Amino acid sequence: MKSPAVHGIHHITAFAGDPKRNLDFYTRVLGLRLVKKSVNQDAPDVYHFFFADAHGTPGTDLTFFPFNHMSKQKDGWGLVREVSFAVPTGSLAWWETHLKESGLEVQAGITRFDEAVITFRDPDGLRLSLTETTAPREVVLWDRSTVPAEHQLRGFHTVRLGLHTPAPTVALLTQIMGFRGVADDNGWTRYESGAGGSGTYVELAAFPDEPQGRWGVGGVHHVAWRLTDAEEEMALQRVLAQAGLSPTGKIDRFWFESVYFREPNGIVFELATDGPGFHRDEDMDHLGEELILPPWLEPKRAEIEAALPSIG
């Protein structure tokens, strides 16, 4: 029986430093909505911020663990190289001006896979890019964003992985997870999943002469891939286990179900279900306004709140 294919990027989770700075940048500068303010369920003295479109639609959600005292990422192979968001065609000039006025260094005039791109880094050094696309996306624009509706981010476009030896990762993607090769460009190969197009891409390149990278502030912890539901997720989990990739069992993250494993070059992948969604425990009009804990952590709320840094 053929394993279920993933449907694109679900979310990406990264490491930040100062939580206030992280909140300010992604809400004020990038105009995303804080759709959930919670804690790292495995280390509840650390926040977990979820930035997304107005409804927290799967495929739009960049999340962060802000560790004030973590060291910077050590670059190298075995890490996510860059996170790319989609923007409407004609928006890059506005974004270039906006980002420069916000004090960022911007590299413009870039073309990748025949698409116009600008690149920059967030205040912690996370490599980001914006790619112009006309592709339709499942995105709910936020009427209280600092960014005008016609320029708002349309969710993820692609994610770039820096590998030592691409072949086993390519085999995983194409033979088990349902990805298909799309094109090559300047040493990078693009693959698409699900229905294809913006939001379903992953791009791979080899960096065998670099040292192995190490997690830290300004880097990505994991890339999560979309599965429709837990049945589909667990069917793929079983195929991964048979392939010797040692996936975890299903983990309840309350807003979605998760399975984790490392791809052959060491990058952490997650399988995440599209639901139940962020409105499960908050009214859609008030997402992200209060500290939300999953039910099993609620009895420890006082202890958890006392350990978290103040963010005003």
Report pLDDT digits (tens) over 210-237. Answer: 999 999 999 999 999 999 999 999 999 9
- Please give the Cα distance from 248 to 93 (Å, whole number): 44
Give the model's pLDDT for residue 182.
Answer: 98
Give the number of C-alpha atoms closer than 13 A to the C-alpha of residue 85, restricted to the C-beta side: 28
Report pLDDT digits (tens) over 172-210. Answer: 999 999 999 999 999 999 999 999 999 999 999 999 999
- Please give the Cα distance from 6 to 224 (Å, whole number): 10
For residue 99, which of 122, 73, 125 has the smallest C-alpha distance?
122
Q: Is the pLDDT of residue 87 over 70?
A: yes
Reading phi first (left if > 0) and then psi (alpha if -120 to 50, else beta), residue 126 is in beta
Give the pLDDT mean for 281-286.
96
Rounded to the nearest 5 degrees, what angle is found at the Cα of 74, between the Cα atoms of 157 and 80?
20
Does residue 280 contact residue 38 with C-beta atoms inside 8 Å? no
Report pLDDT digits (tens) over 24-41. Answer: 999 999 999 999 999 999
Q: Give all strands (DSSP E) within the chain, no chain letters.
A: 9-16, 33-40, 43-52, 61-66, 79-88, 107-112, 115-121, 127-133, 156-163, 180-185, 188-192, 201-206, 220-227, 251-252, 256-262, 268-276
- Please give the Cα distance from 283 to 306 (Å, whole number): 25
110 CB-near residues (< 8 Å, 6+ apart):
116, 117, 118, 119, 129
Give the pLDDT mean for 267-280.
97
How much helix, strand and coil, in percent to the nearest 5, is found in the chain?
Answer: 20, 40, 40
Give the model's pLDDT for residue 2.
Answer: 67
Instruction: Please list, residue by residue across 147-178, b when 16 or more beta carbons sit within 10 angstroms of its beta carbon and e when fewer do.
Output: beeebbbbbbbbbbbbbbebeebbebbeebbb
Give the model's pLDDT for residue 4.
Answer: 87
Does residue 88 contact residue 154 with C-beta atoms inside 8 Å? yes
74 strand-pairing partners: 214
| Domains, the chain, ordered by start | 9-307 (3.10.180.10)
127 strand-pairing partners: 121
